[in-house]
A and B are shown apart, each in its own frame.
Chain A
Amino acid sequence: MDLICPAGNLPALKTAIDHGASAVYIGFRDQTNARAFAGLNFSEDDMRQGIDYAHAHARKVYVALNTYPTSAHIRTWQNAVDRAAALDVDAIICADLGVLDYATRRHPDLPRHLSVQASATTHAALRYYRERFGIARAVMPRVLSLQQVERLCKRQVVPIEVFAFGSLCIMVEGRCQLSSYVTGVSPNRHGVCSPAKFVRWDEEPGGVRSVHLNNVLIDRYQAHEPAGYPTVCKGRYKIGDEIFHALEEPTSLNTLSLLPMLKAVGVAALKIEGRQRGLAYVGAVTRVWRQAIDQLEAQPNAAGDPAWQHELDAHAEGHQTTLGPYHRSWH
């Protein structure tokens, strides 16, 4: 099973390789990928160095080109495909039909992975992308239960990659417009969810802090409460007379306890979320998952090291973790 790790810059890429990533996924410094954050991502020179570093260690680099261009700007995405091909990356990760079509025609030998942003959740949808674009792998949205992942793997339409750890999109990826409803900026078009420039923190009496996103109150925290980033889906809202996390708590996905089952059902690759996270996160999370995968392959019946869970919890958003959609009770 491959371990696919995030890198928002060259040091993070090297850290991920040093700690055991099978492949690292990265993006150009523009809107062509779904983590288009200021100060993040790779210049062409950094990308070349990173690819050399990975290839020298017999590892791979994937480039995410997984946002949706409009007609007026599609050339930018097509150029990005050309640049990735010229840099000899090992695969590109795409969602848009237009980008996939261009890559398939222009660079047939460059492997194409279907991004989670394409929202393909069934073997019928996967057949579409395989028949039209010859995709080599597909990343599954975080909506499927373990049993549904197993059924998809058994169909063998394409090898399946699933999210193993990191921040949790609660909505099916590529089909969520909560951010653009509030800010006009969307993961699909702009590669950003609930962008920081729309966030406003206010101090209120008694140490209370409130946070607005483009003037919509997302949450309010008492002095003793830890405050989270105000993505729309993780705020507290009022339904009837009750105020609670109506959509999702600020929590991270952690499937470490499901690892033997993910392997048994035939998952080809595990993805770690977090290109926006720092070196400490990338290093620790990559190392723990590498150790867990290696131990599972060497001694399938051995219990995992309890320290692994503690380490992952320490790096989880809100320091809480969940098995997410893989486990029925989450639904």
Chain B
Amino acid sequence: MQLTLGPLQYFWHRDDVFKFYREAVQWPLDTIYLGETVCSKRRELGTRDWIALANELAESGHEIVLSSLALLEAESELSALTRLAENGRLRVEANDMSAVQILRERKLPFIGGPGLNVYNHVALRLLREDGMQRLVLGIELGRELLREFKDSGEPLPEFEVIAWGRLPLAYSARCYTARALDRSKDDCGFRCIDYPDGLPLKTREGSPFLTINGIQIQGGEYCDLAPDIAELQTAGIQLLRLYPQANDMAAVVARFRKTIDSGLPAQRVGLENGYWHGQAGRQQMPGDEVPDSAQAIISA
């Protein structure tokens, strides 16, 4: 079982990004994904900066992947995507069909991100023909659908699953951070930089529900599949994705690495991912209460 660091979903200061990734290459990871996947207005690092940083990290010997934007609207975003595709060295994670097309037109192998809608083996076959070598399962794809992929008898790509972090649930043209701060998107002031782990959205009664991250909506809670690693392995998952958070990421990685290496089941720290069991994403299984001792590595 391999460990990957998913792309940073939040907006951080440039220096913090460099510091984070220069530390990350010291962590026991196999693969590091990086790049802006949420909002093209976030320019602490531009596309060229991300490519340069990716090339620098590649010297460490890790597999480095450049992740692309999940929702493209403007011509400038397509140009940036083309620059990513033509980086000349590193594979790209395609997070929408624009990226798939730009990569297949150049006959470049790629990784399918969780933003692609792949629900059946025919879609999987077509994308493999297009050059997809690995699929990061979309959040709705649980163990049952993975079994259906296997039962189809199709040659399969590698499968990666989101094992730690907040689930990416939706994207919009609207910026919800700007809306919450009563600003227009065109004059957003890049205020999402003030929320390095997103902006919590609660129900009217104050229960945690969702997280606002610019134009993206995430689940409110951290999902944690560390206790399920043995089952994931049996199901055919080869890679576990851990999404970056502002604090304690080294501890998160170390915990997963220790669990894999020891072969012993981990105590649950975040919440279970209901989707994996074919349930509602936020559905919790019995005995899923997060122990107080776990709060140390859930920084929010």
Contacts and interface: CB of A to CB of B under 8 A. Distances in A.
A129 to B, nearest CB: 8
B6 to A, nearest CB: 17
B152 A71 contact: yes
Contacts of B199: 239
A243 B145 CA distance: 38
Interface in B39-97: 70-75, 77-78, 81, 96-97
Interface string A62-83: 0000001111101000000000
Nearest to B177: A239
B174 A68 contact: no
Given A101-B126, A151-B75, A331-B184, A238 B121 contact: no
A22 B217 CA distance: 37
Interface in A150-200: 151, 170-172, 174-178, 180-184, 186, 188-189
A181 B219 contact: yes
Given A119-B96, A325-B173, A238 B71 contact: no
Interface in A135-150: 142-145, 148
Contacts of B279: 184
A124 B77 CA distance: 11
A198 B25 CA distance: 45
A261 interface: no
B78 A175 contact: no
Contact of B97 (A125, A144, A189, A220): A125
Interface in B186-219: 186, 199-207, 209-210, 212, 217, 219
Contact of B170 (A122, A123, A176): A176
Given A121-B98, A172-B71, A183-B280, A98 B120 contact: yes
Interface size class of B (residues with CB under 8 A): 35 or more
Contact of B102 (A68, A101, A124): A124
Interface size class of A (residues with CB under 8 A): 35 or more
Interface string B164-187: 000101111111100110001110
B115 A128 contact: no
B117 interface: yes
A122 B123 contact: no
Contact of A175 (B70, B101, B281): B70
Given A102-B122, A175-B70, A237-B201, A181 B78 contact: no
B176 A246 contact: yes
B148 interface: yes
A247 interface: yes
B175 A132 contact: no
A71 B101 contact: no
A189 B119 contact: yes
Interface string A233-247: 100111110110011
A184 B145 CA distance: 14
B203 A216 contact: yes
A205 B230 CA distance: 50
Main secondary structure of the interface of B (DSSP, over half): mixed
Interface in A212-266: 214, 216-220, 233, 236-240, 242-243, 246-248
Contacts of A142: 173
B169 A177 contact: yes
A95 interface: yes
B123 A98 contact: yes
Contacts of B115: 175
Interface in A24-70: 68-70
B169 A119 contact: no
A180 B281 contact: yes
A3 interface: no
Contacts of B77: 122
Contact of B280 (A71, A119, A180, A246): A180
Interface string B225-265: 00000000000000000000000000000000000000000
A328 interface: yes
B72 A239 contact: no
A143 B127 CA distance: 25
Given A128-B100, A238-B201, A246-B201, A181 B123 contact: no
Given A119-B97, A183-B280, A184-B283, A132 B172 contact: no
A150 to B, nearest CB: 11
B139 interface: yes
B275 interface: yes
Contacts of B81: 124
Given A128-B101, A178-B170, A331 B122 contact: no
Interface string B121-135: 111001100000000
A128 B172 contact: no
A143 B120 contact: no
A1 interface: no
B204 A217 contact: yes
Given A97-B117, A188-B119, 18 more contacts: A70-B119, A96-B123, A97-B122, A119-B71, A121-B71, A125-B97, A128-B98, A128-B101, A170-B174, A177-B169, A178-B169, A181-B219, A183-B280, A236-B204, A237-B202, A238-B206, A239-B202, A246-B212
Interface of A: 68-72, 74, 95-98, 101-102, 118-125, 127-129, 131-132, 142-145, 148, 151, 170-172, 174-178, 180-184, 186, 188-189, 214, 216-220, 233, 236-240, 242-243, 246-248, 325, 328-331
Closest 4 CB pairs of A and B: A98-B122, A143-B173, A184-B280, A181-B281
